[in-house]
């Protein structure tokens, strides 16, 4: 009987909604990374050709000499059929091996990602949670003050900043704060930390990393807080028209309790789903922002690998981004059904 019970429980698990979603997620990840592998290898140019052009342009070498040097440096067989390269890459992936960098000869891709990824996680995560917190507070405020001057000003700000690309905001910050007004030492802020600083839980190191992350952080917050404000404003206005809010007011409940316990708790539910999805994009960072400010995160590494056609590094980074984004979508779906009884 115990065996029958365990069998029935196992059968329910494998036929359940969560199990089906997990299988779908795994299949989606496999399809996306396979298509990414194909697209990367179909890009014009390859690492050997780019390095040959570099040697001819900067080292003034003739083509044959440059080709011979490039072939000796890069241990990669680009003449092998693409399906053979794909199978070899999958075999390594099954063993947890992302390969070695083509340009940084002999350096494992996993070590490169491990060196750059923490800086992106740090910069984008603190920016995301700052913009989310500020956005929901301001969104609720302008929903209650709709039609006022404050509402018009903040809504216009949110609409404009949400529409402008983040890299353009970054360039504008450099132009005004660093060039025109000379308020920030932009060249000293390049990189993720200053040379000679010893990493650790100490005040000089903490102050230094916040100094270097300041400009990317400001750019991220400005370009994302507006969307949270507009979503929260719309959700709050919709919630204010619900019957349970009217009933709470009719019972004479304090405005503070209605605002936070009835309106706020229900209006914020859709934003949690968006937040969970946004968490997946943390792993991708912002390639253009990190490149503009020379902030050595995963986006900066991706930009370099694309420019150099470093196939193995590109594949490793896109694998991490794909898994993070698709998994965060799965978690958002499961989370929303848990926090909202109406969906469950």
Each domain of the chain, given as residue ranges in start order, spans 109-339
In sequence order, the 6+-apart residues with CB closer than 8 A to the CB of 339 are: 269, 272
In sequence order, the 6+-apart residues with CB closer than 8 A to the CB of 120 are: 282, 283, 284, 285, 290, 297, 298, 299
pLDDT at 34: 92
The closest alpha carbon to 262, from 283, 240, 277, 284, belongs to: 240
How buried is 64 (Cβ within 10 angstroms: 0-12 exposed, 13-18 middle, 19+ buried)? exposed
pLDDT at 5: 47
**What is the chain's percent helix, strand, coil content, to nearest 5?**
75, 0, 25
Report the Cα 230 to chain-centroid distance in Å: 21
Is the Cβ–Cβ distance between 307 and 127 less than 8 Å?
no
Helix locations, 17-108, DSSP H = 17-41, 47-58, 63-73, 82-94
The closest alpha carbon to 47, from 76, 21, 22, 26, belongs to: 76
The third-level CATH classification (topology) of the domain covering 109-339 is MetI-like fold (1.10.3720)
pLDDT at 307: 86
Backbone angles phi, psi at 62, to 5 degrees: -75, 165
Report helix, strand or coil for 74: coil
Between the CA of residue 206 and those of 188, 200, 210, 212, what are the distances in Å? 16, 8, 6, 10
CA 48 to CA 102: how far, in whole Å? 9
Half-sphere exposure of 235 (CA within 13 A, CB side): 24
Report helix, strand or coil for 344: coil
Report the Cα 250 to chain-centroid distance in Å: 45
Helix locations, 61-108, DSSP H = 63-73, 82-94
How many residues can be counted in the chain?
Answer: 344
pLDDT at 113: 93
| Each residue's pLDDT expressed in tens, for the chain with a length of 344 residues | 445 545 555 555 445 677 888 888 889 999 999 999 999 888 877 777 787 887 788 777 887 787 777 766 665 666 678 888 888 889 988 888 888 887 777 789 999 999 999 999 999 999 999 999 999 999 999 998 888 999 999 999 999 998 898 889 999 999 999 999 989 999 999 988 988 888 888 898 999 999 999 999 999 999 999 999 999 999 998 888 887 788 888 888 787 887 877 788 788 877 877 887 788 777 777 888 999 999 999 999 999 998 888 888 999 999 999 998 888 888 877 776 676 666 55
pLDDT at 267: 84
């Amino acid at each position: 009987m115990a065996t029958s019970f365990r069998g029935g429980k196992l059968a329910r698990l494998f036929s359940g909604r969560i199990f089906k979603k997990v299988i779908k997620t795994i299949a989606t990840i496999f399809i996306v990374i396979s298509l990414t592998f194909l697209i990367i290898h179909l890009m014009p140019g390859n690492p050997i050709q780019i390095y040959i052009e570099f040697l001819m342009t900067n080292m003034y070498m003739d083509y044959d000499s440059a080709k011979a040097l490039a072939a000796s440096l890069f241990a990669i067989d680009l003449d092998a059929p693409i399906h053979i390269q794909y199978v070899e890459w999958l075999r390594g992936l099954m063993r947890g091996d992302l390969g070695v960098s083509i340009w940084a000869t002999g350096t494992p891709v996993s070590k490169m990602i491990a060196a750059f990824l923490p800086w992106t996680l740090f910069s984008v995560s603190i920016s995301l949670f700052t913009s989310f917190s500020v956005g929901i507070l301001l969104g609720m405020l302008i929903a209650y003050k709709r039609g006022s001057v404050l509402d018009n000003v903040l809504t216009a700000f949110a609409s404009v900043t949400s529409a402008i690309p983040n890299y353009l905001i970054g360039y504008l910050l450099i132009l005004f704060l660093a060039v025109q007004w000379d308020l920030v030492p932009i060249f000293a802020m390049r990189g993720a930390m200053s040379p000679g600083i010893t990493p650790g839980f100490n005040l000089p190191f903490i102050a230094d990393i916040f100094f270097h992350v300041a400009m990317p952080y400001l750019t991220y917050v400005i370009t994302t807080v507006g969307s949270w404000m507009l979503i929260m404003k719309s959700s709050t206005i919709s919630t204010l028209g619900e019957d349970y809010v009217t009933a709470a007011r009719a019972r004479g409940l304090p405005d503070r309790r209605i605002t936070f316990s009835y309106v706020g708790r229900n209006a914020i539910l859709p934003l949690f789903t968006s937040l969970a999805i946004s968490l997946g994009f943390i792993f991708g960072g912002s390639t253009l922002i990190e490149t503009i400010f020379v902030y050595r995160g995963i986006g900066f590494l991706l930009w370099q690998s694309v420019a150099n056609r470093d196939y193995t590094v590109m594949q490793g980074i896109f694998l991490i981004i794909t898994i993070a984004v698709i998994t965060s979508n799965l978690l958002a779906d499961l989370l929303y059904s848990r926090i909202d009884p109406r969906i469950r």
